A = this chain, B = another copy of it.
Amino acid sequence: MGESTAAQPLSSSIGDYVKIIWELAGSGAASTTEIAARLSVAPASLTKMLGRLQELGLVSYERYRGASLTERGRAEALRSVRRHRLIETFLLEHLGYSWQDVHEEAERLEHAVSDNFTERLAEFLGHPARDPHGAPIPGADGVLAAEDSFPLGEVMAGGRVHVTRVHNEEAPVLAYLGERGLVPGRSLEVKEVRELDGVVTVEDEEGVSHSLGGPLARSIFVRLLS
C-alpha cells in the first residue's frame, strides 16, 4: 500500500520553496513573480522549480496559472514551519539571541535538524504554543491553531487590546518595535486610527504613546481585551 519509497528528506531549496508558497498562497494560488521575489530568485528559476515540485507531488501547477500546494506539500510546509518556530524560540529563550536575529539563523537550521531533534527540542522547550513573534507553532501532528487575532488598524479608537503577534520578519522593524516594547504580551490602548493615511496611535501601559504607519499597524496583530 506504500506509494513512495524511503521519503528522502527534501533539499533545503525545496523546503524553502514549499514554505514560501504556503505563506503566500494560503488556500489559493501564488504567482510566479511573487514567489520569486520572496526567495530572491529569478522568475525563470521559479518556472523550472515549479515543474520539479509538481513531479515531487508537492504543488499543483498549471502553466501561466500560478501554483498551490497539494495536501502533501501543505504537510511538508507545516513541518518546516514547526521546526523554524521551535528553533526561534530556543534561540531567544536559551541562547540569548535578540528578537530580530532569530529568523535568519532559524532559516538555515530548519533544514538541518531531524524530526527526532525537533521533537526533543519541543520537549526541552515545554511545548510552546507560539514563537517569539507570537506566531502559532504547528503541532507534531500538523495541526495549526487558527488565528483569532486581527491587525491593529482594524480596532476602533478607544479600544484596549493585547498584542498577540508581530507579523514581520525585517530585522530593523523588529528592532524598532522591540525597543519600544511593542511585542506580544503587551497591552495597549488605541488612541486614534486615522482614515487619511492609516496611521494608528496607541498608548502603552506606561502611558507612552506611539504612532505607527499603516503597513506597520497592519503587521501588529491584537485581541480585544474584554
Contacts and interface: CB of A to CB of B under 8 A. Distances in A.
Interface of A: 91, 94-97, 101, 105, 108-109, 111-114, 116-117, 120-121, 123-124
Contact of A95 (B91, B95, B96, B120): B120
Nearest to A109: B112
Nearest to A94: B124
Contacts of A121: 95
A114 B124 contact: no
Contacts of A117: 91, 95, 105, 109
User: What are the 6 tightest A-B residue pairs by CB atom distance, in nearest-first order?
Assistant: A112-B112, A95-B120, A108-B112, A109-B112, A95-B124, A105-B117
A101 B120 CA distance: 13
Contacts of A116: 101, 105
A205 B108 CA distance: 45
Contact of A120 (B96, B108, B114, B120): B96
A114 B91 CA distance: 12
Given A108-B114, A111-B112, 11 more contacts: A95-B117, A95-B120, A95-B121, A96-B123, A101-B116, A105-B113, A105-B114, A105-B116, A105-B117, A108-B113, A109-B109
Contacts of A120: 95-97
A189 B121 CA distance: 39
A25 to B, nearest CB: 27
